[in-house]
């Protein structure tokens, strides 16, 4: 049963603390809320795109400039409304072994990545700023690697959901909770 629950517009966070006979396993889940309306509108967008493409090819029997524009608008409309195929992302912390990062898709596929505890230098909270948006990410600094490993590869949860995961990772790696700048 989850100990801690947080909810946001698009995401919900749950924390499971499973204590076994020999060790504790700490599971942090961030689940994306699936909007039925968005899925339906996405499918309608795909149908509009296909209808536009077939109309341009079959009825006009030639492609003109307006045909290319209508196909481009259809593709952009479809891309804007596409929902992510990711259902949830989990962080399983095993203090003596390492950290397992899991990505669960709506199709049922699960992608597992394992990082041994000895390779982790420290977990880092980063503020990512782009010309369009600003969001927070949680990453792991590893021995011998120049690049950071993102804990949540697909989702961009708010910082209030990242902080408990960051604190648990700091505790598991015997790192001090150092604020990032």
Please choose, from the candidates 169, 165, 160, the residue with its C-alpha nearest in 3D space to the C-alpha of residue 141: 169
Please choose, from the candidates 8, 28, 10, 9, the residue with its C-alpha nearest in 3D space to the C-alpha of residue 18: 28
- In this prediction, residue 83 carries a pLDDT of 56
> Is 1's pLDDT higher than 50?
no
Tokens of 80: 């804007």
Give the tens place of pLDDT for each residue, 132-160: 889 999 999 999 888 999 999 988 899 99
Tokens of 121: 């230098």
* pLDDT, the chain, mean: 80
Looking at per-residue confidence, does 42 or 63 come out higher?
A: 42
> Is 121's pLDDT higher than 60?
yes
> Is 86's pLDDT higher than 80?
yes
Dihedrals φ, ψ of 133, to 5°?
-145, 170
Looking at per-residue confidence, does 79 or 11 come out higher?
A: 11
Least confident range from 21-30, 31-40, 98-107, 167-176: namely 31-40
What DSSP character marks residue 173?
T
Q: Tell me the mean pLDDT in the region 17-45.
A: 75
Tokens of 84: 């992510």
Say whether 15 sits in a helix, a strand or coil: strand
């Amino acid at each position: 049963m989850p100990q801690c629950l947080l909810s946001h517009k698009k995401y919900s966070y749950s924390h499971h603390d499973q204590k076994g006979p020999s060790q504790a396993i700490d599971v942090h889940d961030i689940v994306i809320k699936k909007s039925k309306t968005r899925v339906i509108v996405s499918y309608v967008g795909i149908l509009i795109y296909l209808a536009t493409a077939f109309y341009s090819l079959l009825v006009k029997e030639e492609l003109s400039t307006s045909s290319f524009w209508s196909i481009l608008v259809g593709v952009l409309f479809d891309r804007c409304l596409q929902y992510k195929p990711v259902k949830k992302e989990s962080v399983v912390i095993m203090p003596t072994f390492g950290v397992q990062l899991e990505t669960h898709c709506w199709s049922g596929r699960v992608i597992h990545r394992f990082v041994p505890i000895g390779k982790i230098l420290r977990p880092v909270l980063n503020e990512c700023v782009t010309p369009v948006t600003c969001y927070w990410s949680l990453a792991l600094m590893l021995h011998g690697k120049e690049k950071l490993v993102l804990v949540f590869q697909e989702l961009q949860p708010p910082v209030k959901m990242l902080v408990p995961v960051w604190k648990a990772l700091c505790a598991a790696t015997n790192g001090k909770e150092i604020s990032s700048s």
